[in-house]
Amino acid sequence: MSSIILIVDDEASGRQTLESILEGQGYQIELAENGAQALEKANRILPDVILLDVMMPGMDGFEVCRRIRKDPKLAEIPILILTALDDRKSLITGLESGADDYITKPYDRYELRARLLGITRLNRYRKLVEERANIDAAHEKLLSAYDATIEGWSRAMDLRDKETEGHTLRVTDLTIKLARMMGVNEGELVFYKRGALLHDIGKLGVPDGILHKADKLTDEEWAVMRQHPQFAYDMLYPIEYLRPALDIPYCHHEKWDGSGYPRGLKETETPLAARIFAIVDVWDALISDRPYRPAWEKQKALDYINEQSGRHFDPKVVKYFNELAKVEGF
């Protein structure tokens, strides 16, 4: 899109001269014959640059410039003053009024074109920066809304499954700490957090009669329960921004030796996020009270984690978990 140049000059010959100089330069030219018309047109068309004559009857160019700079809507428009006044005082007055550049008449057409080109480039760059900043701000707000929604979903899951109340936030916090200790970059940690918050979202597809059953589940009921990672995948995959966070909800019940579910992945076939989360998930479950057993002592739970190294858990992740246990004082 071509830049809009507003030429302000009370003399027709001055306007025509500028039009001829700028003809063929790719600009859209608009004209104003006095200060009042200039302000009205500037508000209506929002030009990219204003070429402003100083010596005009009624409202001179300096006053026009000052009024533009006081108007929030127009204040950022570049102004190039063109005038026959060549004394130092007029130059200073023009710049103090808010002009971005100052050229005295008679002016060289090539110099005028070059200065105008420089101003339009800078103005275009400024607009791009502002647009990018606005886009980034909107993006951040959108991501905040997404994350707030995810946290709402996770709280709803905890409320539905009261025996694990508080579990989701605890395992999310510990997963991030362990992943960071293992060198996972901050960009990836965003997906780890989302995945941890949504790790049991698939249980929404499990009937309450199975999910809340106090007795031991039958083989048929276990078959349904073990579908919850697949339910999670089916629920979340259509949501594009959540696809990078699927590793934990889909794979956190896989085991290092390949005996897990839903796909029987073995060793590093299971994504690292899920291998990290698997340890944290079991740890939190063991040290929490459940209707069918009291919480384990932390040392007993840690011993169990180490016993399962190379079977349930990735040995490398177990090593780091032991380091984290020392740091956290488990």
pLDDT in tens, 185-204: 999 999 999 999 999 888 88
Q: Is position 128 within any domain?
A: yes
256/96: higher pLDDT: 256
pLDDT at 255 over 90: yes
3-class DSSP state for residue 65? helix
Q: Kindly state whether residues 111 and 172 are assigned to the same domain.
A: no
Q: Kindly state whether residues 173 and 258 are assigned to the same domain.
A: yes
DSSP code per residue over 254-289: --TTS--SSS---GGGS-HHHHHHHHHHHHHHHTS-
Q: Are 149 and 287 in contact (CB under 8 A)?
A: no
Q: Is position 22 within any domain?
A: yes
Q: Helices 272-286 and 186-197, interaxial angle, to 10°? A: 50
Q: Is position 141 within any domain?
A: no
- Mean pLDDT to the nearest integer, 99-109: 79
Q: Are 249 and 198 in contact (CB under 8 A)?
A: yes
- Mean pLDDT to the nearest integer, 113-140: 71
Q: Kindly state whether residues 122 and 253 are assigned to the same domain.
A: no
For the domain that residue 261 is a member of, what is the CATH number?
A: 1.10.3210.10
Domain termination residue (choose one: 88, 111, 132): 132
pTM attached to this predicted model: 0.59
Q: Cα–Cα distance between 79 and 52 in angstroms, integer? A: 7
pLDDT at 316 over 60: yes
3-class DSSP state for residue 4? strand
Residue 269 pLDDT grade (very low, low, confident, very high; cuts 50, 70, 90): very high
Q: Kindly state whether residues 49 and 165 are assigned to the same domain.
A: no
Backbone angles phi, psi at 29, to 5 degrees: -95, 130
pLDDT at 124 over 70: no
Over the chain, what is the mean pLDDT? 86
Q: Kindly state whether residues 179 and 298 are assigned to the same domain.
A: yes
Q: Are 236 and 242 in contact (CB under 8 A)?
A: yes
Host domain of residue 190 = 161-328
pLDDT at 164 over 60: no
Q: Kindly state whether residues 28 and 108 are assigned to the same domain.
A: yes
DSSP code per residue over 296-325: PPHHHHHHHHHHTBTTTB-HHHHHHHHHHH
Q: Are 67 and 42 in contact (CB under 8 A)?
A: no
Q: Is position 28 within any domain?
A: yes
Q: Kindly state whether residues 114 and 185 are assigned to the same domain.
A: no
pLDDT in tens, 128-147: 666 676 766 776 776 677 67
pLDDT at 157 over 80: no
Q: Kindly state whether residues 17 and 121 are assigned to the same domain.
A: yes
Q: Cα–Cα distance between 198 and 152 in angstroms, integer? A: 10
- Mean pLDDT to the nearest integer, 14-36: 89
Domain count, the chain: 2
Query: The tokens of 239 are what?
Result: 């949501």
For the domain that residue 103 is a member of, what is the CATH number?
A: 3.40.50.2300
- Mean pLDDT to the nearest integer, 209-226: 86
Closest to 34 in 3D by CA, of 49, 62, 53: 53
Domain termination residue (choose one: 132, 149, 173): 132
Work out the end-to-end distance of the chain between its first and last CA atoms, rounded to an integer number of angstroms.
63
Q: Kindly state whether residues 168 and 297 are assigned to the same domain.
A: yes
Q: Is position 314 within any domain?
A: yes
Closest to 192 in 3D by CA, of 167, 166, 164, 172: 172
pLDDT in tens, 56-83: 888 988 899 999 999 988 888 888 888 7
Residue 165 pLDDT grade (very low, low, confident, very high; cuts 50, 70, 90): low
Query: The tokens of 202 are what?
Result: 């698939």
Q: Is position 150 within any domain?
A: no
Q: Kindly state whether residues 190 and 73 are assigned to the same domain.
A: no
Q: Cα–Cα distance between 163 and 157 in angstroms, integer? A: 11
Q: Kindly state whether residues 200 and 320 are assigned to the same domain.
A: yes
Cis amide prior to 207 (ω within 30 degrees): no
Q: Is position 247 within any domain?
A: yes
Sheet (strand 101-104) strand order: 28-32, 4-8, 49-53, 79-83, 101-104
Please report, rounded to a whole number, the percentage of residues in the chain having pLDDT higher than 70.
Answer: 89
Place of tokens 């309450």: 208
Q: Kindly state whether residues 190 and 259 are assigned to the same domain.
A: yes
Q: Is 228 buried (19+), middle (13-18) or exposed (0-12) by CB count in 10 A?
A: buried
Query: The tokens of 115 are what?
Result: 């200065």
Q: Is position 48 within any domain?
A: yes
